[in-house]
Amino acid sequence: MISPGEPVRTVFNPTIAKLALQALLGRRRFYLLLAFPVLLIGLVTLITVLADGDAAFEILPGLGYPLVLPLVAILAASSVLGPEVDDGSIVYLLSKPVSRYGVAISKWVVALGATLTAGALPILVAALITGDSTRALGLFVGAVVAGTTYSALFLAISAVTRHAVIASLMFVLIWESLLGNLFTGIAWLSIGQWGLRIGHEISSELPDPANLGYAIIASLLVTVVGVWFAGDRLRSFTLRGDE
Amino acid sequence: MSDMSRPGVIHDLGYRHYDGLREGTPAIARTLFVTGLRHVYGLGRSGKSKVMPFLLLAMSVLPALIVVGVVVLTGLDSLPVSYADYTNQTQLLVSLFAAAQAPVLFSRDLRHRSIVLYLARPLSAPVFAVMRWLSLTVALWLFMAVPTLMLFIGAMLSGLDKSDQVTQLLKAVVLQTLLALLIAGITGLISSVSLRRGFAVVGSVMALIVLTGVVTAVQAIAAEQDADSASTTAGLFSPWSLYSGLANAWDAGIDTFVPVDGAWAVAYALVALLLAAACLLALVARFRKVGSR
């Protein structure tokens, strides 16, 4: 940073967080983000009414947890950083004497808040609708852990490539879902499975794919490294043209 | 062909005159189609743009090669997966490919307003939209046809019954064409409305992958509750369930929760065609609107 005096070293910057929140809640994006919880809760309610709670609960580990939660995290993480990188206006932010790690942390906090509100909370509500509150709580804890880790990882991916959304989707859909269903060993390298393992401690109805200590440490590690890496990428950011 | 009603398509700025052949709208449309098709696969674009389409293509061809290897080594007398079902099994890859590459054709020109340069030529906005749609359709069809062709070659080399395989192959190709028309319309429309690449991709993923997941869940639960017609009705609501339903009705080797037969097959075909037509009309309307600004 070529500026007189010390750069302002705040860890969390409320102004940047506010701007990120505005970017996130821009008209259309907000509706897209809102569509996920509405869809999930609506579907689960419908099936609980038509069939029964246990049949409806199958939707959550089958669709809500492995698909809706990461999609919300992808949408949130890429909206707080993506548009600025896309149209180049990030240089105005980076020219300010604010620690790049502070930028990354502020943006991550907003993405995390959105992921938990539009991803994890609807899972809790939907799971409560199906009955059994212990099971609901277990899945919610898993969703909070996985949502936190996902948002950090996807923020890091957003800071690296313009194709962040597709790269993140490939991680979720191909690595975690497609290959994860074929090879059980992928549970050791799957954020969703770590969350489920932690949720398993509360409700034994959830699967226990990996070791508990490992799941906690791995989730923490990916979160911290992800946010740090996003800050580090912003520190040595080079603006490229489209394509 | 010199077009007398629109003279000066090649702008005469008073330098050297152009006396050669002046080609009309068909030539422009054809060029646009070919360029669009190439751009979907990143050909003629930067090296980075080639990574995603070819990575996805490689991932969708790899299982076909493995299947062929298994058939050849173990001497099976039929393919373990039918041609139509192979596309169904790799639907995640096809959907991702469509979601990732549709913005290349439909978002960039609108986002950077280079659409006005295209429309400054004697090419109307509707033709532009239709050509873009055709490019994406053919690109998607190729994406599905390459692994299908690999399977077919493998089946022929290992000496499976020829007439049987050819019938299955032709059925699969027809179904894939219909599916390509559908998916190209849906993802194209989403990308032309939502101009930020990220949101277009997430929107397409919602329409293709999340919606299919929802439909499959509803179909499974309805079939479990013995509500057969509800299960079949649910299948009308996503492109992939339309595809598998039609393949099931046509005996192309895909199992659905409840067999699609009789008038349902007609309903599935009609809904698929109407949906494709509606998406194309909406695309034309969208480009007509942005073109008039």
What pLDDT, in 10s, does the model give residues A72-120?
Answer: 999 999 888 877 877 778 888 888 888 888 889 999 999 999 999 999 9
Asked, for residue B8, whether it belongs to a domain, the answer is no
Candidates A105, A97, A54; CA nearest to A80 is: A105
CB contact under 8 A, B209 and A173: yes
| Confidence category of residue B10, pLDDT binned at 50, 70, 90 | low
CA distance B119 to B182: 26
A63 at B interface, C-beta within 8 A: yes
Q: How far is CA B45 from CA B35, B36, B39, B112, B164, in A?
A: 10, 11, 7, 17, 41
Using CB atoms, pick whichever of B46, B96, B217 lies closest to residue A63: B217
| Mean pLDDT taken over chain A | 86
**A7 part of a folded domain:** no
Most B CBs within 10 Å: which of A81, A163, A177, A240, as the mutation test of the B interface? Answer: A163
pLDDT tens by residue, B216-272: 988 988 898 888 889 999 999 999 999 999 999 998 888 888 888 889 999 999 999
Say what the pLDDT of residue B11 is.
65
Helix (H) or strand (E) holding B264: helix B263-292
B224 touches chain A (CB under 8 A): yes
| pLDDT confidence tier of residue B126, bands split at 50, 70 and 90 | very high
**Inter-chain touch A243–B49, beta carbons under 8 Å:** yes
Q: Which residues of A touch B92 (CB under 8 A)?
A: 173-174, 177-178
Tell me what pLDDT residue B168 has. Answer: 93
The arithmetic mean of pLDDT across residues A44-67, rounded, is 86
pTM over 0.80: yes
Question: Is A30's pLDDT higher than 90?
Answer: no
- Judging contacts by C-beta atoms under 8 Å, the chain B residues touching residue A56 are 221
Confidence (pLDDT) at B187: 96
Query: Cα separation of B90 and B102, whole Å?
Result: 18
- Where do the H-state alpha helices sit in chain A? 14-24, 27-50, 53-57, 59, 69-87, 90-94, 100-115, 121-129, 133-160, 164-169, 180-182, 191-200, 212-235
A174:B59 CB<8 A: yes
Q: What is the mean pLDDT of chain B?
A: 89
Contact criterion met (CB < 8 Å) for B210 and A86: no
A8 domain residue, yes or no: no
Given a cut of 60, whether residue B175 has pLDDT beyond it is yes
Residue B170 CA to residue B155 CA, distance in Å, equals 14
The residue of chain A nearest to residue B98, with distances taken between CA atoms, is A166
Structure tokens belonging to residue A206? 């959830």
User: In angstroms, what separates the C-alpha of B213 from chain A's closest C-alpha?
Assistant: 7
pLDDT of residue A95: 84
Asked if B213 reaches chain A (Cβ–Cβ under 8 Å), the answer is yes
Query: Where in the sequence is the domain holding B185, given as residue range(s)?
Result: 25-292
Is residue A240 in some structural domain? no
- At residue A222, φ and ψ (nearest 5 deg) are -65, -40
Contact criterion met (CB below 8 Å) for B211 and B234: no
| Residues on chain A touching B46 (C-beta within 8 angstroms) | 243
Does A9 fall in a domain? no
Residue B261 lies in a domain: yes
Q: Which residues contact A115 (CB under 8 A, 6 or more apart)?
A: A69, A72, A73, A76, A77, A147, A148, A150, A151
Please choose, from the candidates B102, B199, B45, the residue with its C-alpha nearest in 3D space to the C-alpha of residue A243: B45
- Structure-block tokens of residue B161: 């019954």
C-alpha angle A57-A58-A61 in degrees, rounded to nearest 5 = 100
> Hey, are the CB atoms on A86 and B197 less than 8 Å from each other?
yes
CB contact under 8 A, B210 and A68: yes
Is residue B239 a part of any domain in this protein? Answer: yes
The answer to whether B1 and B24 have CB atoms below 8 angstroms apart is yes
Share of chain A above pLDDT 70, in %: 93
Asked whether the beta carbons of B243 and B166 are under 8 A apart, the reply is no
Which 3 state secondary structure label does DSSP give A98?
strand
Token digits of residue A180: 């994860």
The count of domains in chain B is 1
> Which tokens hold the place of B283?
């695309």
Q: Is the pLDDT of residue A243 over 50?
A: no
- Round to whole Å and give the CA distance between B103 and B194: 9
Q: Is residue B98 part of a domain?
A: yes
Question: Cβ separation of B201 and A178 shorter than 8 Å?
Answer: no
User: What's the mean pLDDT in A167-173?
Assistant: 92
Residue B3, in any domain of the structure: no
Residue of A nearest to B198 (CA): A165
Interface of A with B in 86-145 (CB under 8 A): 86
Q: How close does chain B come to A7, measured CA to CA in Å?
A: 32
3-state secondary structure of B67: helix
Higher pLDDT: A27 or A37? It is: A37
Query: In chain B, which residues have their Cβ closer than 8 Å to the Cβ of A59?
Result: 217
Identity of the highest mean pLDDT range in A85-89, A144-148, A198-202: A144-148
Give the pLDDT of residue B101.
Answer: 94
Taking each helix axis from N to C end, the angle separating A69-87 and A191-200, rounded to the nearest 10 degrees, works out to 140
Would you say residue B5 lies in a domain?
no
Confidence of residue B12 (pLDDT cuts 50, 70, 90): low
Residue to test with chain A: of B202, B229, B233, most A Cβ within 10 A: B202
Distance from C-alpha of A100 to C-alpha of A1, rounded to nearest angstrom: 10
Give the distance between the most distant pair of CA atoms in chain B: 77
CA distance A63 to chain B (A): 7
B99 touches chain A (CB under 8 A): yes
Asked whether residue B14 is domain-assigned, the answer is: no
CB contact under 8 A, A63 and B198: no
CB pairs under 8 A between A and B: 90
Assigned token pair, B72: 């050849």
Q: Please name the residue ranges forming H helices in B90-210.
A: 91-106, 108-111, 115-119, 125-157, 162-193, 197-205
pLDDT at B2: 41
Count of the separate structural domains present in chain A: 1
Contact A39 B196 (CB under 8 A): no
pLDDT, position A2: 44
Single-letter code of the amino acid located at A163: H
**A2 part of a folded domain:** no
Find out whether B205 and B194 touch, Cβ atoms under 8 Å: no
A106 assigned to some structural domain: yes
Between the alpha carbon of residue A145 and those of residues A68, A72, A175, B24, the distances in Å are 15, 14, 19, 60
Chain B residue with CA closest to A46: the answer is: B218
Nearest CA in chain B to A86: B196
CA atoms within 13 A on the CB side of B51: 10
Phi-psi region of B253 (alpha: psi -120 to 50; beta: other; left: phi over 0): left
In a domain, A88, yes or no: yes
Token readout for B281 is: 């009309």
**Distance, C-alpha B206 to centroid of its chain:** 16
CB contact under 8 A, A55 and B221: yes
Using DSSP's 3-state secondary structure scheme, residue B65 falls into helix
Asked if pLDDT for residue B3 goes beyond 60, the answer is no
Chain A hits for B206, CB-CB cut-off 8 Å, are 32, 35, 71
Sorting pLDDT into bands at 50, 70 and 90, what band is B182? very high
- Half-sphere exposure (Cβ direction) of B121: Cα atoms closer than 13 Å: 18
**Average pLDDT estimate for A216-220:** 94
Nearest residue of A to residue B48 by CA position? A243
A43–B217: do the CB atoms touch at under 8 Å? Answer: yes
B28-82 per-position pLDDT tens digit: 899 999 999 999 999 998 888 899 999 999 999 999 999 999 988 888 888 889 9
Are the Cβ atoms of B206 and A35 closer than 8 angstroms? yes
The residue range of the domain holding A47 is: 14-235
